[in-house]
């Protein structure tokens, strides 16, 4: 009888333990599903946040399909070639400067321009124009010189055709274009139109060289940079302000002017050793 009670108690304990394990497994699995769901939501949220959290870069030389591409800091870029577009295969993946590519937003890719940059693209078949913010690398097919996002291709009218014969001109580039407001396309267009209307595009052969060192929204920051550089180099340094979008003002720090490009390059090398990338401009 005692043996029967002992076996009975063992069976009860086994059932209780087994039931507890089952309940524990259900709780753990249920928690895992909730955690997975939360992680997915966090990932989607992070993707949205990262749209404006890229970084400014020029980049090192690189090789694609046996062809070497050399990204450069330039103040002028004007080229004619073929535009194409890209979308589904790269959607929601990181661009070359660390932002998230969204095919339903207006953007572009270029092989060598600083990231981000703003370009003006003219369709040579109908003279239509569009301003694009470049934040990615490409295209790497034949003589194509710029890749539009799917949305940009639709807006520019060559989505169905796939390509367009275009002229691409640099409007602006620099770390200030990482500001979230430049992801607002209407703001970007107004900003670019103002620069395009006021920037002198043609320069004489005897023009002098300037080095643009920094761009600031606050004048005090430009003054701080100016004071720091004056303690490090003997070059002529100055600040030039530019009005954008009516009452908006930015402050640019320059070195120069230099009569010869080779002298400007030597100064650019000195500034690079101090940690400053520069952009060549001509007076």
Residue 275 domain-assigned?
Answer: yes
- DSSP-assigned states of every residue in 186-229: HHHHHHHHHHHHHS-----TTPPEEEEEEEESSHHHHHHHHHHH
What are the backbone angles phi and psi of residue 173, rounded to the nearest 5°? -155, 160
d(CA 272, CA 256): 15
User: In the listed set 171, 198, 225, which residue is the last one of a domain according to the structure?
Assistant: 198
Do the beta carbons of residue 249 and residue 178 sit within 8 Å?
Answer: no
Residue 215 domain-assigned?
Answer: yes
> Are 106 and 226 within one domain?
no
CATH number (domain holding residue 232): 3.30.70.1070
> Are 213 and 189 within one domain?
no
Among 130, 116, 182, which Cα is nearest to 158's? Answer: 130
Do the beta carbons of residue 158 and residue 119 sit within 8 Å?
Answer: no
d(CA 159, CA 35): 40
> Are 143 and 70 within one domain?
yes
What are the backbone angles phi and psi of residue 231, rounded to the nearest 5°? -85, -10
d(CA 279, CA 277): 7
Residue 252 pLDDT? 86
User: In the listed set 141, 174, 198, which residue is the last one of a domain according to the structure?
Assistant: 198
Q: What is the domain range of residue 265?
A: 209-282
Do the beta carbons of residue 110 and residue 101 sit within 8 Å?
Answer: no
d(CA 173, CA 257): 20
> Are 171 and 67 within one domain?
yes
- Cβ neighbour number for residue 131 with a 10 Å cutoff: 21
pLDDT 10s per residue in the chain (283 long)? 555 555 555 555 555 545 544 443 332 323 223 334 344 444 444 444 444 479 999 989 999 988 899 998 887 788 888 999 999 999 999 999 999 999 999 999 999 999 999 999 999 888 899 999 999 999 998 779 999 999 999 999 999 999 999 999 999 998 999 999 999 999 999 999 988 877 544 434 455 788 889 888 888 888 899 889 988 888 888 888 776 655 677 888 888 888 787 888 888 888 888 888 777 666 6
Residue 71 domain-assigned?
Answer: yes
Do the beta carbons of residue 191 and residue 244 sit within 8 Å?
Answer: yes
d(CA 176, CA 180): 10
Residue 40 domain-assigned?
Answer: no
What are the backbone angles phi and psi of residue 75, rounded to the nearest 5°? -100, -15
CATH number (domain holding residue 116): 2.40.40.10
> Are 121 and 190 within one domain?
yes
> Are 134 and 252 within one domain?
no
> Are 193 and 213 within one domain?
no
> How deeply is 11 buried, as exposed, middle or buried, from its count of CB atoms within 10 A (0-12, 13-18, 19+)?
exposed
> Are 221 and 191 within one domain?
no
> Which stretch of DSSP H or E encloses residue 263?
helix 261-273
> Are 138 and 243 within one domain?
no
Residue 259 domain-assigned?
Answer: yes
User: In the listed set 198, 221, 238, which residue is the last one of a domain according to the structure?
Assistant: 198
> Are 78 and 179 within one domain?
yes
Residue 107 domain-assigned?
Answer: yes
> Are 179 and 266 within one domain?
no
| Residue pointed to by tokens 């970084």 | 55
Residue 249 domain-assigned?
Answer: yes
Residue 258 domain-assigned?
Answer: yes
> Are 102 and 82 within one domain?
yes
Query: What's the structural domain count of the chain?
Result: 2
Regarding beta strands 67-69 and 62-64, do their DSSP bridges make them parallel or antiparallel, or are they unpaired?
antiparallel
Residue 48 pLDDT? 47
């Amino acid at each position: 009888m005692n043996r029967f009670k002992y076996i009975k108690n063992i069976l009860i304990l086994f059932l209780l333990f087994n039931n507890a394990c089952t309940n524990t497994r259900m709780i753990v699995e249920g928690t895992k599903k909730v955690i997975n769901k939360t992680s997915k939501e966090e990932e989607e949220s992070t993707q949205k946040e990262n749209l404006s959290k890229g970084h400014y870069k020029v980049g090192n030389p690189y090789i694609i399909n046996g062809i070497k591409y050399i990204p450069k800091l330039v103040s002028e870029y004007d080229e004619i070639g073929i535009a194409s577009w890209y979308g589904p295969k790269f959607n929601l993946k990181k661009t070359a400067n660390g932002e998230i590519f969204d095919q339903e937003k207006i953007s572009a890719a270029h092989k060598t321009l600083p990231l981000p940059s703003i370009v003006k693209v003219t369709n040579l078949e109908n003279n239509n124009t569009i301003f694009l913010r470049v934040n990615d690398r490409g295209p790497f097919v034949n003589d194509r010189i710029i890749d539009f996002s799917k949305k940009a291709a639709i807006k520019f009218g060559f989505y169905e055709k796939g390509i367009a014969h275009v002229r691409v001109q640099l409007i602006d580039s620099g770390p200030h274009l990482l500001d979230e407001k430049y992801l607002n396309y209407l703001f970007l267009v107004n900003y670019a139109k103002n620069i395009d209307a006021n920037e002198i595009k043609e320069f004489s052969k005897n023009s002098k060289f300037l080095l643009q060192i920094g761009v600031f929204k606050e004048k005090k920051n430009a003054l701080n940079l100016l004071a720091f550089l004056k303690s490090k180099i003997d070059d002529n340094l100055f600040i030039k302000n530019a009005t954008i979008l009516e009452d908006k003002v930015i402050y640019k720090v320059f070195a120069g002017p230099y009569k010869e490009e080779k002298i400007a390059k030597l100064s650019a090398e000195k500034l690079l050793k101090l940690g400053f990338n520069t952009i060549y401009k001509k007076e």
